[in-house]
Amino acid sequence: MFTARHVFGAVQRRSFSASTRQASKVTVLGAAGGIGQPLSLLLKLNPRVSQLALYDIRLAPGVAADIGHINTKSEVRGYDPTPSGLGDALRGSDIVLIPAGVPRKPGMTRDDLFNTNASIVRDLAKAAAEHAPEANILIISNPVNSTVPITAEVFKARGVYNPKRLFGVTTLDVVRASRFISQLKNTDPANENITVVGGHSGATIVPLLSQSGYSLTGATLDEYVRRVQFGGDEVVQAKDGAGSATLSMAMAGARFAESLLKASQGQKNVIEPTFVDSPLYKDQGIEFFASNVELGPSGVEKIHPIGKITEYEQKLLDACLADLKGNIQKGVNFIKEKP
């Protein structure tokens, strides 16, 4: 007997094989790092990717040679920082993921990385604006709350800024929020999808648990929120000076890239939380904000409003907005001072 499940499966398979025929070049800048290597590996396993360009200031050709032996169809090339290397890696790219920069050590906040990572992201953004102005740009390098505005300013200065194509990758916050609630409630984490809004550091990370029908209270709720906001610190401490989240981040980055590829290849209702140029709090002078975003062939298709939240969540949001404004302004000021 032919059930609805069979039909759905057949349609899925057909649309998937049609979409995999479309060429998609994906570039990773910082591809030899702790995030860059497993992220590149996961992208090599994605049949929607036809070309994978790996760039780093060290070791990218080695990583490319290694990953290039995996028996999936995509072509992999590694690029060194030669005069043409970065441009060649970027040219023709549909998606550019940027995990280049330094990670945290114990005791550091993401903002402590600003001085080093701001100029790394600025320079890579300049190259992307020149060689891949129409690509989707996915910023992973921290502090995301500032590196995304930095990238926007670089693109604006060159007249190629498209707010629909710039994304701060906050997927890991949702991955963690979903995992942590499943540990508390003994549910399957794969079926959890907790909405997380705001930004990507400490108090700017705001999980909206009530929207998934959960009503934790008291210390359990406080502890849950704290764990989502500072989950990254658990990894930084456990790695004891050797870096921050890399493997879970690679998974989160690959998931976001996969969602963009699905959307650009025509799939509907692809929704991911991400830190984008957003109208939601512009009246309060906050130009960027993470919320659920529907993705489409042109990048951002629709920015979802926050929706109904509890009083407790509103307090978290108020604290988030105060911090976020400063983080964004810091990025904008950096480009004014050091264009």
Instruction: Return residues touching ligand NAI (CB under 6 A).
Output: 29-30, 32-36, 56-58, 99-104, 113, 117, 120, 124, 140-142, 144, 169, 172, 200, 243-246, 249
Using omega within 30 degrees of 0 as the cis cutoff, is the peptide bond preceding 61 cis? no
Cβ count within 10 A of residue 262: 18
Pairing of strands 75-79, 25-29: unpaired
Has 91 been labeled as part of a binding site?
no
- Cα–Cα dist 158/153, whole Å: 9
Cβ nearer to ligand NAI, comparing 265 with 291: 291
C-alpha distances out from residue 56 to 30, 108, 213, 256, 260, Å: 5, 24, 44, 21, 23
Residue 142 in marked binding region: yes
The tally of CA atoms less than 13 A away on the side-chain side of residue 227 is: 16
Question: From the CB of 22, what's the least distance to ligand NAI, in Å?
Answer: 27
Residue closer to ligand NAI, measured from CB, 36 or 61: 36
We find the least distance from the C-beta atom of residue 117 to ligand NAI, in angstroms, to be 5
33 appears as a binding residue in the annotation: yes
Report residue 146: phi and psi, to 5°. -110, -35
For ligand NAI, the closer CB: 48 or 122: 122
Beta-ladder partners of 279: none
Please indicate if the annotation marks 98 as binding a ligand: no
The nearer residue to ligand NAI, 118 or 221, going by C-beta atoms, is 118
User: Distance between CA atoms of 339 and 327, rounded to whole angstroms?
Assistant: 18
Question: Nearest approach, Cβ of 133 to ligand NAI (angstroms)?
Answer: 19
Query: Is 36 part of any known ligand binding site?
Result: yes
Closest distance of CB 192 from ligand NAI, Å? 18
**Catalytic residue list:** 200
CB of 268 to ligand NAI, least distance (A): 27
- Annotated binding-site residue? 117: yes
Instruction: Quote the DSSP letter at residue 77.
Output: E
Q: Residues 6 or more apart from 128 whose CB is under 8 A from it? A: 29, 90, 96, 98, 135, 137, 151, 155
Q: Are 262 and 47 in contact (CB under 8 A)?
A: no
Which residue, 265 or 334, has its beta carbon nearer to ligand NAI? Answer: 334
Residue 235's φ and ψ, nearest 5 degrees, are -75, -45
Annotated binding site for NAD(+): 30-36, 56, 117, 140-142, 249
Annotated binding site for substrate: 104, 110, 142, 176
